Amino acid sequence: MTDIIRLLPDHVANQIAAGEVIQRPASAVKELMENAIDAKATVIKLLIKDAGRTLVQVIDNGIGMSATDARMAFERHATSKIQKAEDLFRLQTKGFRGEALASIAAIAHIELQTKRPTDELGTEIRIEGSKFTYQEPCVCPEGTSIAMKNLFFNIPARRNFLKSDTVEMRHILDEFQRVALAHPAIHFYLFNNNNELFNLPPTNFRQRIVHLFGGKTNEKLVPIISEDTPVVKIGGFIVKPEFLPKSKSLQFLMVNHRFVKNQYLNHAIASAYEGLVHADQKPEYFLSLEVDPSTIDINIHPTKTEVKFEEEHSIYALLKSAVKHSLGQFNIAPTLDFSKDPTYDIPYQYKDREPEMPRISIDPTFNPFKEETYQRSSGDTSHKPASAFNYNYAKKAATWESLYNELPSSINFEEPEVVESSLFSDELATPQTKKIISLAKKYLVTTLGGDLIIINSNRAHQRVLYEGFMKSLENSHTASQQLMFPYELPFSKAELDTIKALKPLFENIGFIFNIAPDKIVISGIPMHITDSEIPNIFNELLQQHIEELPTTENSQKEAFAKALCKNLAIKTGQVLSDEEQESLVNNLFSCQEVLISPFGKRIYYNLSVGEIEKLI
């Protein structure tokens, strides 16, 4: 019987390794940009075409490589970052395992140009599926340019599992933002299909956040009071509680200038917000931690975004304390103030004065019970009260009997007639009786065809709005109300790119707006939307469509209509007038689909007389 265990060929092993390291174009973006940072680059350009399917290119001005190093860089486990196993516990660089370039070369076409400052000529290498097809000297600028083309060209199944261009570009933007935030001293560029999305000059951490996420972010930030301890050094910014969203939030935690994910530390930050935000709201933060490299392990996941801390409990306590301190320091969290109010201080000019007894002036001859003080019936005007106060009082305080002197004699002081009525009187059956009852500010109870109908008002309104929006999206022209003053909303460049793609859908439902370099200017809105609802609508739709945008036109419209109706529908606890309740019920039963909401939940439940008799 022949042996069945054998070594895999290198190109097959590289393809298997690529499945762990390169899952989508964003994975290659992360690896190539981190290599440029390790090469001590001060300017890094990222070029993307077709969301990374056609091209991902990173150009840097780093130290470059020699011809031999350029060839060796694509071999498995070839690295310049470590020499022995002990170096794994003192890592200061991004990549160190030597798998990234070998994995990328196994599933794409690679073109590399690199040159060291001391060399006259650079080196150009071309690789197709781990096979070197070209290597020659070339003329090129100092640094390295590596282009990854036709990703997964030799693994069609992996290519078919990629999402739409919008989703893949969103992942690329996430990786770009993480790397750019961790290194504010480096100049980054991002070009998508030859259009410049980001130009981030070297700056401080706060300005880098504003450049990435728009000018509206600046007012939301609260700086962390610097905590420098032997265990960890904490810095960065958190977002004020009133600006925290209920949807996907911006959470960036950098450890030694490397973006990481750590649920334990995220819980520390969230617990610091307790009592300030709703349970549905998630904290937003841009935090940077510096720890001793020997006290962390970053080699527990292929993407190196998960780390293990040696002093995890201490870092948890310090991080929670720092966030709480910052919230209290900037008067965001409620605090006790024991300082003295300066308004209680004695004025300087009265400080050394002796107190004086107040003087009171009285009229000893005044008698409030003297009836002759004022007589209405007499014509004597010669009497003058002792003081103006006595005169005014006497004029108004005539004897109580005089109050009834000029009353008309027709007034009837008999007791009013009491009309008795019964709860079961015939008036309940009159047409004026309310036919719809609101229950718990959530349900509407009415009757239909002899059955008792219990309607969920939120789901009913979602169904009514959804079908209305779907009709509007099918029409090319929809009525809108013009705003007297244009409404401006600031957005980042990445968000504006998404809004540009969604603009036809916005216009179909009644929005009219122009896109500026850093904002949109709205001049018209749908008829049933108010000004105050505009920011929430745009933010909710952006978050949902950035994460997962459907690929077909019909599903785009459905997702758009669902997001709108969910945002604008009546919320639980909202009080409706009798007319609004009746209109909602009538509109519901005029819809094509009455029983199920757009999100697949039951809208109403009916009880027949027979079912009620079984209950009672």
At 276-286, the pLDDT tens digits run 887 778 889 99
Task: Give, in order, the Cα–Cα distances in Å from 186 to each of 61, 63, 144, 145, 165.
Answer: 11, 15, 16, 17, 28
Amino acid (1-letter code) at residue 61: N
Residue 487, strand partner residues: 522
- Rounded to two decimals, what is the model's pTM? 0.67
- For the chain, list the domains and their CATH numbers: 10-200 (3.30.565.10), 205-329 (3.30.230.10), 438-605 (3.30.1370.100)
pLDDT band at 334 (very low <50, low <70, confident <90, very high): low
Residue 452, strand partner residues: 447, 607
Q: Which of 613, 30, 32, 585 is nearest to 303 (CA)?
A: 30
For residues 461-472, give the mean pLDDT: 87
Sheet strands side by side (includes 437-439): 437-439, 443-448, 451-456, 604-607
Q: What span, in angstroms and rounded, lies between the C-alpha atoms of 155 and 427?
A: 78
Check if the beta carbon of residue 541 is closer than 8 Å to that of residue 563: yes
Helix or strand holding residue 48 (H, E): strand 43-49
162 pLDDT more than 80: yes
Q: Which of 594, 613, 293 is nearest to 463 (CA)?
A: 594
Number of H-type helices and E-type strands within the chain = 16, 23
For residues 492-513, give the mean pLDDT: 82
For residue 250, what is the DSSP state?
Answer: -
> Max alpha carbon distance in the chain (Å)?
144
- Annotate 267-297 with b (16+ C-beta within 10 A) or e (fewer): ebbbebbeebeeeebbbbbbbbbebeeeebe
pLDDT in tens, 242-301: 888 766 678 999 988 888 888 888 899 989 888 788 777 888 999 999 988 888 877 655
pLDDT score, position 426: 42
Amino acid (1-letter code) at residue 407: L
For residues 582-590, give the mean pLDDT: 89
